[in-house]
Chain A
Amino acid sequence: GDSVTQMEGPVTLSEEAFLTINCTYTATGYPSLFWYVQYPGEGLQLLLKATKADDKGSNKGFEATYRKETTSFHLEKGSVQVSDSAVYFCALTNYGQNFVFGPGTRLSVLP
Chain B
Amino acid sequence: GAGVSQSPRYKVAKRGQDVALRCDPISGHVSLFWYQQALGQGPEFLTYFQNEAQLDKSGLPSDRFFAERPEGSVSTLKIQRTQQEDSAVYLCASSLGRISNQPQHFGDGTRLSIL
- Using a CB–CB distance below 8 Å, which chain A residues touch chain B? 4, 31-32, 34, 36, 41-46, 49, 51, 89, 91, 93-104
Interface contact B99-A103, CB-CB below 8 Å: no
Interface contact B100-A34, CB-CB below 8 Å: no
Complexed CA–CA distance, A83 and B109 (Å):
21
Residues of B within 8 A of A99 (CB): 33, 43, 45, 100, 104
- Using a CB–CB distance below 8 Å, which chain B residues touch chain A? 4, 6, 33, 35, 40-45, 48, 56, 59, 91, 93, 99-101, 103-109
Write 5 A-B pairs (CB below 8 A) sorted by A numbering.
A34-B103, A45-B106, A94-B101, A98-B100, A102-B42
Complexed CA–CA distance, A102 and B44 (Å):
9
User: How near does chain A come to B1, taking the closest CB pair, in angstroms?
Assistant: 13
Which of A96, A99, A101 has the largest count of B CB atoms less than 10 A from its CB? A99
Complexed CA–CA distance, A103 and B56 (Å):
22
Residues of B within 8 A of A89 (CB): 42-43
Chain B residue with Cβ nearest A30? B101
Which of A42, A43, A89, A99 has the largest count of B CB atoms less than 10 A from its CB? A43
Interface contact A43-B4, CB-CB below 8 Å: yes
Complexed CA–CA distance, A45 and B43 (Å):
13
User: How near does chain A come to B101, taking the closest CB pair, in angstroms?
Assistant: 4
Residues of B within 8 A of A32 (CB): 101
Residues of A within 8 A of B4 (CB): 43
Interface contact B43-A101, CB-CB below 8 Å: yes
Residues of B within 8 A of A36 (CB): 106
Residues of B within 8 A of A101 (CB): 35, 42-44
Residues of A within 8 A of B103 (CB): 34, 46, 49
Complexed CA–CA distance, A51 and B44 (Å):
22
Complexed CA–CA distance, A94 and B102 (Å):
10
